[in-house]
Each structure stands twice: as structure tokens, then as C-alpha cells.
């Protein structure tokens, strides 16, 4: 009966019956409260959150400044459809974003609701501006689950399996990641870039002529593909190729934006200029708003009225976005990211070197507070040398480590089709919370190593 008080177990049964099974879940808890890096269930079980709701609550759950801004906005104007008139928070958000753009040419914005929608908007702009059809995407990329964005997603087949045909005009090229290129994890960055450049040259000669190619889309750190930072050298090369052939470079910052990697946007580690940039997640710390930005010349190619959406750029979400930018600018976020990142790195690297656990680990990667540890896996498609090394390792190490962490009250996610665990704590996580999380994680890896 509506309104009846249920136990958590009863709610879980109800949810399992009435929420579609296509939606996976880590646990069947009912979360009722979040503060900073902590979450509580309806039965008052506490979790330390190393997921940030998949990279969304960068400033922690229920940041007081954002809650206050949202409450105030909800009391004055909740909905202002963006094709009818501006709202003040919509314009204030742009005013805040303009000075932090990775390049001054990025000065024309369009807000949407989700990352996937923004990706599709960027594709439309790129096709219209260039008058060309094809989009080059990276092996291992993730750009969303809607038809257009799923067509650009190459991290796992699950997002498109049995639901095709997808959007046409998508061509895939290898990302400079050793899995993508089928080489050993010890391959140098220089060599990975050389091989990935070569493959892209072939793509432009054999699969899509530059004159048919509208854009190249790339995440500066692959997210669902395994938390793999893109070497700056590769991004510079993409910029050169795009300039040479008048192709647009689309940088997808949905997961990497808003200090996640230590800079406002991850592309700033390279200094490369995007033609179009996509953002979402951290922009409003949990309120659903995304967007694209480009130069006026590129963005204004779209006919008046061709862009828009009922809820796009909702004033309450924009007010949350404004409050979040104010905190990003004054909150010493970059400092905390650098300090906590170094602590995380030292634990991951010590596990990779320890005689108790090193045999399980094949790679560790970290940029800011986007960290990953990749475990050996018997099914990992490595070099012949790698395959024989992987024969004797236990199966599903990541899933087992994750279960130990969950059982000890830490939420943590796996990522990619390889055996990888990713770390995305809120950027405001304290030293004590980082120590607690990494100690739970270290114990979990040691437990799995002992069990074999």
C-alpha cells in the first residue's frame, strides 16, 4: 500500500520485481542520506563512497552551498523552458564557465540533461558544420547508451548487443593503450603513441577519407574503458591531424571535468584546444545538466530552433551548477586532489610491488582522483608471454576484491571488459577517509591473494 513503511529487505524485493532488470546494481540497499564521502542506508548502515555516484558528486554528497542554492531557486523559479526565454541561473552558469574554459575560443554553450544527449548534440553540430558524415571514435571509448552515443561507445558490447543497427558513420581507431594495440603493458608511451598514430593514418587512408570525416571524438582519460589517461603527445597529434584536414576535435570531459583529474578539465594537462567540448557529471554535483561548448563560428552553424529540449538547462540544475562553480573556484579542490591522489598512488604502487600481491596485478594508473588497478586475468588478450603468465592466476580478482570492500562498508566500482577496479572518491575526501578506504582496499587484495 503506498506510504507503508517497509523494511530494507521488503523494499529490495519490491525493487527487484518492479525495476527493469536491464538496470544492473551493485547492492540492493536503499540509500537515504549522503554527506561528503559517506552514505547511509535506510537501516543506518554506513558506506564510505569511493564511487561519487560514478564521478558526479565531486564536492561530496549534499554540499551545503549547493543545497542552499537549489532550495532558494526552487522557491523562485523551477522551470523555464529554454526556447521560451532565458533564466538567470542559465546565464550565470555560462558567466562562471567562460573564464575556466581550456581555450578562449570556447564561448558558445548549449545545455542538455545527460552526457549522452550532449554527445549526440556535438555529433550533430560537427556534421552540420563540416557537411561531412563520419565520426572517428577510439577503441575502448565510452560516450553513453542512447543510440547515437552507444554507436560511439566501444568499451563493451553490452551497450549495443542485439539492439542494432546503431547510428551509421562511425569508425574506430585504437587508443594508445596496450590492450587496444595488443602489446605488452610495459610498452613505452612513446611506442604506444607511434602505433596509435600509424593506425589513425591507416583509418584516414583506408576507411574514411578526411573529406568524409566530420570529427574525432576522444576522452582525455578513458573512463569505462579502464581509467586510461591519454598521453598528451597523442592529443597533440590529433590536433595536428584535425587542423590539417579541417576535422573537428571533440573532447568528451563528461567524467574527467571539474577537477576530477586535478585540473578544471583534463584536456588542460596537454594544452590542446578542443573544437567542441562535452561536459556533465561534476558540473552541478548531482543535478542533471550537461552541455557542449564550441566557438560561435562552429556552434552557430545550427539553424535557429534546431537545438533545445523540454528540460534542457533547467534553472534549478543551473543554480546548482553556479553554486558548484563557486565552490570549485574557492575551495582549494586542486590541492586536496593532489594530496589525496599521492596517497592513493602510494598504496596502489606498494600493492603492485609487494611480494604478497604483485603476482595479481598487471597495471596501476592514476591521474588526480581517477585511479585504477588492473588485475591479471586468464582471459586477458595479451602477448604470448602475457598469456602464459596469466594461466595460473585466480579468476575474477576484481569482483572478489570489490565484494570484500563492499562487505566492509566501502562502495567501489569495477570498470572495462578487463579485470579493473576504479577509484573515484569525492574530491573533498579527507586524509582520514582516504586512509580508511585504501586500508580496506589493501586488506581486500591481500585476502584474495591468500585465498588464491
Ligand X SMILES: Cc1ncc(COP(=O)(O)O)c(C=O)c1O
Identify which of residues 265 and 433 has a Cβ nearer to ligand X in the complex: 265
Q: How far is the CB of 251 from ligand X (least distance, A)?
A: 10
Is 279 in contact with 253 (CB distance < 8 Å)?
yes
- What are the DSSP E strand ranges found in 240-313? 248-252, 276-279, 290-294
Q: How far is the CB of 230 from ligand X (least distance, A)?
A: 12
Angstrom distance (rounded) from CA 214 to CA 236: 18
Select from 58, 130, 180, 255 the one that contacts ligand X (CB under 6 A): 255
Site residues for ligand X, 256-285, by CB under 6 A, read 280
Select from 252, 275, 419, 433 the one that contacts ligand X (CB under 6 A): 252
142 binding ligand X? (CB under 6 A): yes
- Contact flags string 19-58 toward ligand X, x per CB under 6 A: -----------------------------------x----
What angle in degrees, to the nearest 10, is found between the helix axes of 397-407 and 431-451?
130
Identify which of residues 63 and 422 has a Cβ nearer to ligand X in the complex: 422
Identify which of residues 29 and 422 has a Cβ nearer to ligand X in the complex: 422
Is 276 in contact with 301 (CB distance < 8 Å)?
no
120 binding ligand X? (CB under 6 A): no
Is 6 in contact with 391 (CB distance < 8 Å)?
no
226 binding ligand X? (CB under 6 A): no
Cβ count within 10 A of residue 290? 26
- Contact flags string 85-114 toward ligand X, x per CB under 6 A: -----------------------------x
Angle at 364 between CA 359 and CA 366, to 5 degrees: 165
Identify which of residues 114 and 336 has a Cβ nearer to ligand X in the complex: 114
Long-range Cβ contacts of 123-127 (<8 Å, 24+ apart) = 123/148, 123/152, 123/167, 123/214, 123/215, 123/217, 123/250, 124/302, 124/306, 125/276, 125/292, 125/294, 125/298, 125/299, 125/301, 125/302, 126/214, 126/215, 126/248, 126/250, 126/275, 126/276, 127/214, 127/215
115 binding ligand X? (CB under 6 A): yes
Is 57 in contact with 34 (CB distance < 8 Å)?
yes
84-92, 235-243, 250-258, 314-322 -> range binding ligand X (CB under 6 A): 250-258
Select from 38, 49, 219, 374 the one that contacts ligand X (CB under 6 A): 219
Identify which of residues 277 and 428 has a Cβ nearer to ligand X in the complex: 277
Q: How far is the CB of 122 from ligand X (least distance, A)?
A: 10
Q: Which residue is nearest to ligand X (CB)?
A: 115
- Residues that bind ligand X (rule: CB under 6 A) add up to a total of 14
137 binding ligand X? (CB under 6 A): no
Order of all β-strands in the sheet with 213-218: 108-112, 290-294, 276-279, 248-252, 213-218, 134-138, 170-173
Angstrom distance (rounded) from CA 38 to CA 410: 9
Alpha helices (H) in 362-428, listed in sequence order: 384-390, 397-407
81-89, 141-149, 296-304, 336-344 -> range binding ligand X (CB under 6 A): 141-149
Q: How far is the CB of 118 from ligand X (least distance, A)?
A: 8
2-10, 66-74, 229-237, 251-259 -> range binding ligand X (CB under 6 A): 251-259
119 binding ligand X? (CB under 6 A): yes
Q: Distances from the Cα of 96 to the Cαs of 48, 223, 289, 413, 427, in angstroms?
A: 31, 26, 15, 32, 20
Identify which of residues 143 and 400 has a Cβ nearer to ligand X in the complex: 143
Identify which of residues 400 and 423 has a Cβ nearer to ligand X in the complex: 423
* Nearest to 242, CA basis, from 271, 205, 217: 217
Q: How far is the CB of 24 from ligand X (least distance, A)?
A: 14
- Contact flags string 353-392 toward ligand X, x per CB under 6 A: ----------------------------------------
Main-chain phi, psi angles of 412, to 5 degrees? -150, 150
Q: How far is the CB of 7 from ligand X (least distance, A)?
A: 31
Angstrom distance (rounded) from CA 254 to CA 251: 9
Provide the binding-site residues for ligand X, judged by CB under 6 A. 54, 114-116, 119, 142-144, 219, 223, 252, 254-255, 280
Amino acid at each position: 500500500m503506498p506510504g507503508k513503511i517497509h523494511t530494507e529487505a521488503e523494499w529490495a524485493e519490491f525493487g527487484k520485481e518492479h525495476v527493469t532488470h536491464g538496470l544492473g546494481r551493485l547492492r540492493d540497499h536503499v540509500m537515504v542520506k549522503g554527506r561528503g564521502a559517506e552514505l547511509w542506508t535506510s537501516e543506518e548502515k554506513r558506506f564510505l563512497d569511493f564511487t561519487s555516484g560514478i564521478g558526479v558528486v565531486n564536492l561530496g554528497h549534499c554540499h551545503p552551498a549547493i543545497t542552499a542554492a537549489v532550495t532558494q531557486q526552487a522557491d523562485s523559479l523551477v522551470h523555464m523552458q529554454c526556447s521560451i526565454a532565458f533564466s538567470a541561473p542559465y546565464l550565470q552558469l555560462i558567466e562562471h564557465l567562460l573564464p575556466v574554459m581550456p581555450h578562449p575560443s570556447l564561448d558558445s554553450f548549449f545545455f542538455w540533461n545527460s552526457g549522452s544527449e550532449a554527445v549526440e548534440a556535438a555529433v550533430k553540430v560537427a556534421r552540420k558544420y563540416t557537411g561531412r558524415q563520419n565520426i572517428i571514435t577510439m577503441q575502448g571509448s565510452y560516450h553513453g547508451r542512447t543510440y547515437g552515443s552507444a554507436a560511439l561507445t566501444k568499451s563493451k558490447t553490452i551497450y549495443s548487443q542485439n539492439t542494432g543497427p546503431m547510428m551509421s558513420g562511425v569508425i574506430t581507431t585504437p587508443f594508445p593503450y596496450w590492450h587496444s594495440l595488443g602489446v605488452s603493458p610495459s610498452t613505452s608511451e612513446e611506442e604506444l603513441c607511434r602505433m596509435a598514430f600509424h593506425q589513425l593514418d591507416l583509418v584516414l587512408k583506408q576507411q574514411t577519407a578526411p573529406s568524409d570525416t566530420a570529427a574525432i571524438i576522444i576522452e582525455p582519460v578513458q573512463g569505462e574503458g579502464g581509467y586510461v589517461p591519454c598521453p598528451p603527445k597523442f592529443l597533440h597529434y590529433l590536433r595536428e591531424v584535425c587542423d590539417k584536414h579541417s576535422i573537428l576535435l571533440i573532447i568528451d570531459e563528461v567524467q574527467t571535468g571539474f577537477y576530477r583529474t586535478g585540473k578544471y578539465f583534463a584536456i588542460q594537462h596537454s594544452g590542446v584546444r578542443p573544437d567542441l567540448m562535452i561536459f556533465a557529471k561534476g558540473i552541478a554535483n548531482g543535478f542533471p545538466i550537461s552541455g557542449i561548448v564550441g566557438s560561435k563560428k562552429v556552434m552557430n552553424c545550427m539553424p535557429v530552433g534546431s537545438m533545445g529540449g523540454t528540460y534542457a538547462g533547467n534553472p534549478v540544475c543551473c543554480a546548482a551548477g553556479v553554486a558548484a562553480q563557486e565552490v570549485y573556484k574557492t575551495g582549494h579542490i586542486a590541492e586536496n586532489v593532489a594530496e589525496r591522489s599521492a596517497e592513493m598512488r602510494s598504496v596502489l604502487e606498494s600493492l603492485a610491488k609487494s611480494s604478497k600481491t604483485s603476482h595479481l596485478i598487471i597495471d596501476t594508473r592514476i591521474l588526480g582522483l581517477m585511479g585504477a588497478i588492473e588485475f591479471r586475468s586468464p582471459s586477458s588478450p595479451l602477448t604470448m608471454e602475457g598469456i602464459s603468465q596469466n594461466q595460473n592466476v585466480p579468476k575474477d580478482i576484481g569482483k572478489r576484491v570489490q565484494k570484500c570492500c563492499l562487505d566492509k562498508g566501502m562502495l567501489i566500482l569495477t570498470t572495462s571488459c578487463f579485470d579493473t577496479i576504479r577509484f573515484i572518491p569525492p574530491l573533498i575526501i579527507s586524509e582520514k577517509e582516504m586512509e580508511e578506504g585504501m586500508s580496506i582496499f589493501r586488506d581486500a587484495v591481500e585476502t584474495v591473494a591468500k585465498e588464491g
